[in-house]
């Protein structure tokens, strides 16, 4: 059984997302967002099939191999819609004139949005440390954006 720590997997994901951002910014932003999404979705589907039918059994990866049913199928569909909508706007940020620094600086707010949404979902008020984190996240995004706008 192959098991990578969640920290290593998240770090690998961030690396691949960083490379994807550079490719979008330097090589593909002249194309329509939906053309790009269609193209890379073919590769995502292929990778998912290879993973599900070849790698999962070969490597004995953890987790259920059954397709979710009932309400879990609905949540999976909702997740698909969320990822699709996120990509419409994320890829569109590049194809509509954004650049690497602007788009990735805004992504610094990812943990802020995630934590706020989770707190709303479970009906919790954020604590002082979380509010401080939200504030620092916004300040970091503004600092990177401002620093990128200064001409050398």
pLDDT, tens only, 15-39: 999 999 999 999 999 999 999 999 9
pTM of the model: 0.84
Q: Are 105 and 76 in contact (CB under 8 A)?
A: no
Q: CB neighbours of 22 closer than 8 A, spacing ≥ 6?
A: 100
Q: CA 50 to CA 8: how far, in whole Å?
A: 22
Residue-wise pLDDT for 72-97, tens only, equals 999 999 999 999 999 999 999 999 99
Residue 101 has pLDDT above 90, yes or no: no
Look at the alpha carbons of 30, 34, 35, 36 in this order and tell me if their dihedral is positive or negative.
Answer: positive
Residue 2 has pLDDT above 80, yes or no: no
Average of per-residue pLDDT across 44-55: 94
Place of tokens 């970091």: 140
């Amino acid at each position: 059984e192959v098991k990578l720590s969640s920290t290593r997997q998240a770090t690998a994901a961030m690396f691949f997302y960083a490379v994807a951002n550079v490719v979008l910014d330097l090589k593909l932003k002249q194309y329509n967002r939906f053309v790009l999404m269609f193209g890379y979705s073919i590769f995502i589907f292929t990778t998912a099939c290879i993973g599900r039918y070849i790698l999962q059994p070969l490597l004995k990866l953890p987790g259920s191999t059954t397709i979710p049913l009932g309400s879990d199928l609905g949540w999976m569909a909702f997740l698909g819609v969320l990822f699709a909508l996120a990509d419409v706007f994320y890829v569109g940020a590049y194809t509509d004139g954004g650049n690497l620094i602007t788009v990735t600086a805004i992504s610094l707010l990812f943990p802020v949005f995630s934590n706020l949404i989770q707190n709303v979902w479970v009906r919790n008020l954020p604590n002082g440390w979380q509010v401080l984190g939200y504030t620092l996240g916004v300040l970091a995004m503004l600092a990177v954006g401002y620093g990128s706008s200064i001409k050398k």
